[in-house]
Chain A
Amino acid sequence: MSTALVQLTYFFASALFILGLKDLGSPETARRGNQFAAAGMFLAVVGTLAHQDIISYEWIIIGMIIGSAIGAAMAVFMPMTAMPERIALSHAFGGLAAAFVGISEYYRHGAEMELLKTVPVGFEVIFGALTFTGSLMAFGKLSGYVTQVPVTYKFQNQSNLSLFGLALALYIAWLFTPSYPILFYIMLGLAFLIGILMVLPIGGADMPVVICLLNSYAGLAASATGFVLSNNILIIAGALDGASGFILSIMMSKAMNRSFTNVLFGAFGSTAETSPGAAASATGSVNEGTIDDAVTVLRNAQRVIVVPGYGMAVSQAQHALRELADLLDSDGTSVKYAIHPVAGRMPGHMNVLLAEANVPYDHIFDLEDINDEFSKTDAVIVIGANDVVNPAAKTNPSSPIYGMPVLNVEEARTVIVLKRSMSAGFAGIDNELFGLPNTMMVFGDAKQTVTKMVQALKG
């Protein structure tokens, strides 16, 4: 195949990527969009296999077979609740691939590289490497191998920033003296280290922002690869990915009323500035309800709103929840779902779990669309959510989450909170909602509690 033909496949692949992303904007066309993008990828790969530099295919074939097997197995067997972990892991693979292509290019050309190539190679390698280790750390935190509690120490930001400054200095020095590979490899090592240290101080509740940011970095690294190889489709696809990660991180930060820098350098939740007195008063005066109490409330309710959070994902309660909603629905009760933008560990996390449990997506509402309805609602079921329903965000200026948009659940007639125990949420903040007179706390594993409620409702 001639170069012109290869370029032509890239041209059509780019068009398919963009069409695919456009179709991902609506649930009706989203599946087709994903298939467009997959077709584009297929075209681009087939076109590349005809590249004149490729003289043997054995390593390509072995790599693609191993990769396809692992990728397909993960796609088929990964439970939906593990989606954030899978996404983090795939950012790690993306970063690794970009970094290795960059290293391979430098190893091949060495000192002969012109500035036009060394600039993007360095960029690609730094971003690829820190995306790799950073995403592995995120994966570790999400899957519980690494503590979800932010790890902090004195002068953490200062030392991280100086490491980054050092890597940047090495990068610039290397640009002018590309014949010193030692500069390049120390820079590479530092980038791996920075990835780890960057994610270490970030707590579980901030994971949505970090995942989006790593998504953006992986895209930028791919785009830089395009600059190195003078390959337009890499530039385009990388830019699309980078833009998507960037937009999502801005949305997530906004949903928490915090700036980027605050998420990255703030180590949220590590400094639990809660006074012990407040905690004691909250635990002292909660209304604890039984399953039957909760069921009675639900039986008498006309309108019910369910507010799911990360706790629903942990206990896999979405199927039992759907059963409960079905029963209420057959009694003529309207059941809606309210999703806070940062509920869960990644953007849209709750939507996927509810979809898995067959909840129709037109029953699911975003914060701004449903927040006025709580005052007209008889019962709210808060299942595994905490910080996103904390009224302190509206009333207490000294609260770390003050100003964050929250769901106005306390305006409902009764709020049923399903919770494992009285412990604070991931942000480590007390929730005065639990002490309100119209709140009923039902303690226990969310899935078991909902299953028992279903049985009680049937009986």
Chain B
Amino acid sequence: MQAELLFAFYIFMLAAFLGFQVISKVPPLLHTPLMSATNAISGISLVGSLVAAGAHYNPVSTALGFIAVTAATINVVGGFMITDRMLKMFKKKDGKKS
């Protein structure tokens, strides 16, 4: 059990460090799409909610899980779609859209 926790902390630390390095390189130009995309990624709570909603541990867990699934799906689907919609608009030269 202790080893498992320590392992989880390792993963957290490495991911946070990697995230810090990768995201520091994103220019201010793309900060809004970045935020919108990381927001969609944090919709990963969906993974936890799915089990709560589908496992039938008890009615309360199912209800909470159901709401969580709905909320997280809004973030995942909406987040990736709107990020794509934004990024589609970023153009370099005078590429006038028809």
Q: Does A234 contact B (CB under 8 A)?
A: yes
The 0/1 profile, CB within 8 Å of A marked 1, for residues 47-83 of chain B is 1111111111110111011111111111111111111
Question: How many Å lie between the Cα of A31 and that of B86 in the bound state?
Answer: 9
Interface residue tally for chain A (C-beta within 8 Å)? 114
- Shortest CB-to-CB span from B19 to chain A, Å, is 3
Inter-chain contacts of B79 with A (CB < 8 A): 71, 75, 90
Inter-chain contacts of B71 with A (CB < 8 A): 67, 93-94, 96-97, 100
Inter-chain contacts of A70 with B (CB < 8 A): 70, 74, 78
Of the residues B12, B53, B56, contact of A235 by C-beta under 8 Å: B12
Say whether, besides A24-B30, A54-B54, A234 and B12 are in contact (CB < 8 Å).
no
- Shortest CB-to-CB span from B82 to chain A, Å, is 4
Instruction: Tell me which residues from 1 to 52 in chain B have a Cβ below 8 Å from any Cβ of chain A.
Output: 1, 4-5, 8, 11-12, 15-20, 22-52
Contact across chains for B90 and A75 when beta carbons are under 8 A apart: no
- Shortest CB-to-CB span from B87 to chain A, Å, is 4
Question: How many Å lie between the Cα of A54 and that of B4 in the bound state?
Answer: 24
Contact across chains for B47 and A108 when beta carbons are under 8 A apart: no
Question: How many Å lie between the Cα of A54 and that of B66 in the bound state?
Answer: 13
Question: How many Å lie between the Cα of A230 and that of B6 in the bound state?
Answer: 11
The 0/1 profile, CB within 8 Å of B marked 1, for residues 12-48 of chain A is 0010011011101111101101110110110011001
In the complex formed, the residue of B with least CB distance to A346 is B32
In the complex formed, the residue of B with least CB distance to A80 is B86
Inter-chain contacts of B56 with A (CB < 8 A): 55-56
Inter-chain contacts of A20 with B (CB < 8 A): 37, 41
Question: How many Å lie between the Cα of A225 and that of B48 in the bound state?
Answer: 7
Of A145-153, A216-224, A290-298, the one contacting chain B is A216-224
Say whether, besides A67-B77, A86-B82, A358-B96, A97 and B68 are in contact (CB < 8 Å).
yes
Question: How many Å lie between the Cα of A26 and that of B25 in the bound state?
Answer: 9
Question: How many Å lie between the Cα of A345 and that of B39 in the bound state?
Answer: 17
- Shortest CB-to-CB span from A194 to chain B, Å, is 20
Question: How many Å lie between the Cα of A49 and that of B43 in the bound state?
Answer: 16
Inter-chain contacts of B43 with A (CB < 8 A): 41, 93-94, 97
Q: Does A63 contact B (CB under 8 A)?
A: yes
Question: Which residues in B have some Cβ–Cβ distance to A below 8 Å?
Answer: 1, 4-5, 8, 11-12, 15-20, 22-58, 60-62, 64-97
Please list 14 pairs of residues, one from A and one from B, whose beta carbons are closer than 8 Å in the complex, sorted by A's number. Answer: A20-B41, A21-B26, A55-B55, A55-B56, A63-B69, A68-B77, A71-B75, A72-B77, A75-B77, A87-B36, A90-B39, A108-B57, A236-B15, A239-B12
Given contacts A55-B56, A356-B89, 16 further A-B contacts (CB under 8 A): A83-B32, A83-B36, A87-B32, A87-B35, A93-B43, A96-B68, A97-B43, A100-B49, A114-B1, A222-B42, A235-B8, A237-B41, A243-B16, A348-B34, A361-B91, A364-B29
